[in-house]
Amino acid sequence: MNVTGILLFVLMGLILLAPTIGLTWYYLARVRNKRPSYYGRAVQRILKRYALLRRYQVMQDVHFEVEGKTGEFSHLLAGPFGLLIVTTLDHRGSYFGDAKTPYWIWDNTKTREQIPNPYLKNQKNIELLRRLFAKEEIYSVPVEQLIVYDSYAKKCGCFTGSEVPAVRVSQLSDYLNREKFDRDNGVDAQRICRLFSEK
């Protein structure tokens, strides 16, 4: 095969591969831009897989009302250890803030915006949850929260101080394997989940 034939062969290969490369790039771009649905589903899958092995309970988009106020959680893992509230940060980029400031800064190098502090929001919802438990005579339930953010971009991060528990999506499984989530604190997870489903 002469040089011209080789060049034509390579050119034909590139022409045939172009649609595949273009579609792959388009798909990845769409997946990475659809933060709420993509990361929400990823987190939910990890929680369900973890819960299934231990017969824990997992709920998504939890809403409840107490004393005329409404609380909500994106993801909830319930087991004998207590409750873990998981919130997903749905924008690709870095987050800056702390446990106390009302707003965090989200920066993706092109855009810089203020967002409501998700840690503070969860803390307020956990306070409402405590009131609901007291009303239902449910006591001594350990409750903690976790912030989950982007796994793909190495330059992305969550710079929010040691008080804010935060991990990448890719680190969530390892986080759940901590000893504290295997402890039996006597929490009736099924009763708690029934309480939410009744609201």
CA-CA-CA-CA dihedral for 38, 104, 160, 37, to nearest 10 = -10
Query: What is the fold of 34-197?
Result: Trna Endonuclease; Chain: A, domain 1 (3.40.1350)
Do the Cβ atoms of 81 and 183 come closer than 8 Å?
yes
Predicted pLDDT of residue 22: 61
Q: What is the pLDDT of residue 33?
A: 47
For the chain of 199 residues, list the mean pLDDT of each consecutive stretch of 10.
Answer: 64 68 56 58 93 93 91 95 94 89 90 93 96 93 94 74 92 95 94 81
The three-state DSSP-derived secondary structure of 73-97 is EEEEEEECCEEEEEEECCCCCEEEC
**The 57-66 sheet, strands edge to edge:** 57-66, 69-79, 82-88, 143-149, 166-168
Q: Distance between CA 85 and CA 146 in Å, rounded?
A: 6
| pLDDT single digits (tens) 82-117 | 999 999 988 788 899 999 999 999 988 888 999 999
How much is the pTM? Answer: 0.79
With vertex at residue 126, the alpha carbon angle to CA 68 and CA 147, rounded to the nearest 5 degrees, is 130
Residue with tokens 């990845």: 28
